[in-house]
Structure 1
Amino acid sequence: MQHDIVSGTEWLAARQALLAEEKKLAELRARIVEQRRALPWTAVDKAYAFDTPAGRQTLGELFEGRGRLIVYHFMFAPDWTDGCPGCSQLGNHLDGLGEPLARHDATFAAVSRAPIERIDDYRRRRGWRFRWVSSQPSDFSYDFQAAYRPEQVGEEVVYGFERTRLDREDVPGTSVFARSATGEVFHTYSAYTNGGDMPLSLTWLSLLG
């Protein structure tokens, strides 16, 4: 991009004009955050199993006793030896999420279809410590629009709440769940690459309600 070289006075005028637009964006973002928090919940009645370094666990157990669970659908298919490069770039920033989320009664977990052995091997090679589990024992990734059957590739499917065609089985996304005092689990929010934010850190906190 070619940038104009201007005087300090002209630069200030341009910056003030941009600031006005940034304020509009901040106001819009604040309204969207409130709308996200006001979304109704839907009960998760299906039993899901995950392979973890600690053994097989249920979706409810992934909460680790907290009231919210944020899941990042990390693209890592069962026959891959490495995770998706794009998801791996995001993975470089996930280790610090645990503590701030825990202070807000929330837990983070990345979920992939790859076997837990391949996930653990790749995580070690990348030097990551964040919680990462395998959905391979269940239909979790399929049910939450993070994976599709081989016969669906190239066909019309629903991804990100819209009908589209995909050229792969695994796709990224973020899903948020809530857990009641009696152990009921609810799906509260999901975002995908074709709509909404792919949120991180403090932005993820805004999803908790």
Structure 2
Amino acid sequence: MRTHTTGTRQEWLAARRELLEAEKELTRRSDELAQRRQALPWVRLDKEYRFETDEGSATLADLFKGRSQLLVYHFMFGPDYTAGCPSSSMIADGFNGFAVHLANHDVMLWAVSRAPLGKLQAYKQRMNWTFPWASSFHSDFNRDFNVWFTEQQQRVGDIEYNYQREAAFEWRPEQEGGGKRAEASFAAMCGTDTATFHRDRPGMSAFVSEGGAIYHTYSTYARGLDSIWGAYQWLDRAPKGRSETGIWWRRHDEYDKR
């Protein structure tokens, strides 16, 4: 049954032109925000981080691979997971196509996760991904960039994520790990409990190499990742929008064949 307003071509065109002005204003505002991101002060990193990669042990400087800029996607894949987070996986599905373009524009894109390299390699093969992915299993990298927290931090409410303090995690006897329903569903999809799943978080961070030093320039988390979640950009332009009534997405090899 049709529930949406209909009209003539002339009525549609008038409304579309009005919407276009709002879209142009949003584009201008987005350009201004991009300039403000780039104007943030750089923070020099003097701590050495080590990662495990397909090519062996690497430093943060090595991840630049000769470029001056590095973008890191903090992929939710903890050591206790049996598979990567479905949301992080859906975002990462788009990396194959544009990582090569970034690499040829002085920007390296990496995914970084706490899971051991062997787990990442197996999952990467399953997902048919080619972008570089490093393990920070033996590093403080995830902790220092606020995408991993300890069980003790959960229990006492000592977590600051997305630039705000969180309340202590609530454990519920009737549901191991407690937490929100979506997190419980994703935890099960990753082969772990909600509390463990919730200790790793998504985000992205930007770095620059200049004058022999590395600087942290930007990080974003949670809904700040929407703009790099390619599927949602398309859904926002579909006739029915996101049309979400719950957790609808899966890893790309888990959908029913239709």
With normalisation by structure 2, the TM-score equals 0.73
Separation in structure 2 between the aligned mates of residue 196 and residue 103 of structure 1, nearest angstrom: 23
Q: Which amino acid aligns with 1:101?
A: L
Deviation per CA, 1:111-144: give whole Å up to 9, x if none: 0000000000110111111100101111100110
Q: Which has the higher strand share?
A: 1
Check the 8 A contact 2:91/2:228 in 1, yes or no.
no
Which structure would you say has the larger Rg? 2
SS of 1:97's equivalent in the other structure is helix
- Which aligned runs of 4 or more in structure 1 are off by greater than 6 angstroms? none
1:88-99 aligned at under 5 Å gives the runs 88-99=89-100
Aligned residues: 200
Check the 8 A contact 2:75/2:113 in 1, yes or no.
yes
What is the CA distance between 1:6 and its match in structure 2? 0.9
Deviation per CA, 1:48-80: give whole Å up to 9, x if none: 110111111111111111101100000001011
Name which of structure 1's ranges 165-174 and 12-21 shifts more when overlaid on structure 2. Answer: 165-174
What is the CA distance between 1:18 and its match in structure 2? 0.9
Check the 8 A contact 1:73/1:111 in 2, yes or no.
yes
Distance 1:181 1:59, change over 3 A: same
Distance 1:142 1:153, change over 3 A: same
What is the CA distance between 1:199 and its match in structure 2? 3.0
Q: Which amino acid aligns with 2:93?
A: N
With normalisation by structure 1, the TM-score equals 0.89
SS of 1:104's equivalent in the other structure is coil
What is the CA distance between 1:197 and its match in structure 2? 5.1
Q: Which runs of 5+ in 1 are unaligned?
A: 202-209
Which residue in the other structure is 1:188 paired with?
217
What is the CA distance between 1:146 and its match in structure 2? 1.1
Q: Which has the higher helix share?
A: 2
Separation in structure 1 between the aligned mates of residue 90 and residue 226 of structure 2, nearest angstrom: 16
Which residue in the other structure is 2:159 paired with?
157
SS of 1:95's equivalent in the other structure is helix
Separation in structure 1 between the aligned mates of residue 54 and residue 224 of structure 2, nearest angstrom: 33
Separation in structure 2 between the aligned mates of residue 115 and residue 103 of structure 1, nearest angstrom: 29
CA RMSD, 1 decimal? 1.8
Check the 8 A contact 1:77/1:113 in 2, yes or no.
yes
What is the CA distance between 1:87 and its match in structure 2? 0.6
2:175 corresponds to 1:174 = no
* More RCO (CA 8 Å, sep 6+): 1
